[in-house]
Chains A and B, each alone.
Chain A
């Protein structure tokens, strides 16, 4: 059977790091999937993902989440990357982020992204789901992950998988 779900690269942080980058992503898969286990050094800012270094106003989407006992829904239009969390991740416990990037190797379609963030602990429970578009037809060759004001802590891990349709 052909291998259809393969790790492309994995990074475990040895020091607090502001930006984690996957570069030279091969264009040989159909979709990408990112799994991250992360913590941040403070409760400031929000985590974002940037495509091909694009800091323009090319990211928009919708969100549904629970933030401090309140359900929040709405649309988002952002510059400098799409949100993968609203507010910082809880600095007391690890959070898990799952991101699916569809048809990343297409040079015809805008890129659609589905992201969930699981960050449950005994002091807060914040499920979040985001649906985004990066309005660009370029093949995705690099991804940056960063928080707008605080770095990721030692031990945070980021793994990028490639998924083949055939």
Chain B
């Protein structure tokens, strides 16, 4: 039986980079999985990023989240509707402990659909200071009318730093 979890493309940054794009994503899979190990050069401990689909900045991105951060015990939550991109949080900034890259795992279901595309995201930033940590669980929906052919990742402010890595996998169900 064929292996159905396939690496489509890897991007490992050799210099600071504003934007990372996976383009011409093949339409031969069922789902996509994006794994990110990254930090930014923004001058804060924790910061965030943005995911845009098909270079589409229309207000058709919806998301909800639950979060644990700092020393809070209870989870907090929130939602955003009709956004122009999807949030990626948390990411490490320059104030985070050295050599620490946040981990983000995004699963994109049925990316070839032409109605809503549901995504789940887990992302965490860990520090050696209790007030600098965070764990996010997002669910996200892109309501564009076309299959997903490109994904663009931006830091909210500043750049992705060198040695950040981005892996895009394709998953087939047959």
Contacts and interface: CB of A to CB of B under 8 A. Distances in A.
Interface residues of B, number: 41
B1 A118 contact: no
A3 B4 CA distance: 8
A129 interface: yes
Contact of A121 (B4, B109, B141): B141
Contacts of A95: 118
B2 to A, nearest CB: 7
Given A64-B137, A125-B81, A127-B138, A73 B64 contact: no
B137 A5 contact: no
Nearest to A9: B173
A96 B75 contact: no
Contacts of A126: 64, 139
A119 to B, nearest CB: 6
A118 B118 contact: yes
B153 interface: no
- Report the interface size class on chain A: 35 or more
A71 B3 contact: no
Contact of B141 (A3, A6, A116, A120): A120
A122 B82 contact: yes
A127 B1 contact: no
Given A120-B64, A127-B64, A7 B4 contact: yes
A5 B31 contact: no
Interface of B: 1-5, 30-31, 62-66, 74-82, 107, 109-110, 113, 115-116, 118-120, 122, 137-141, 143, 171-174
B65 A96 contact: no
Nearest to A4: B3
Interface string A31-48: 000010100000000000
B56 to A, nearest CB: 16
B73 to A, nearest CB: 9
A64 B79 contact: no
A94 B118 contact: yes
A159 B30 contact: yes
A35 to B, nearest CB: 6
Given A7-B1, A120-B140, A127-B65, 12 more contacts: A5-B3, A10-B174, A37-B118, A66-B78, A73-B74, A96-B107, A116-B137, A122-B82, A125-B63, A125-B139, A129-B137, A157-B173
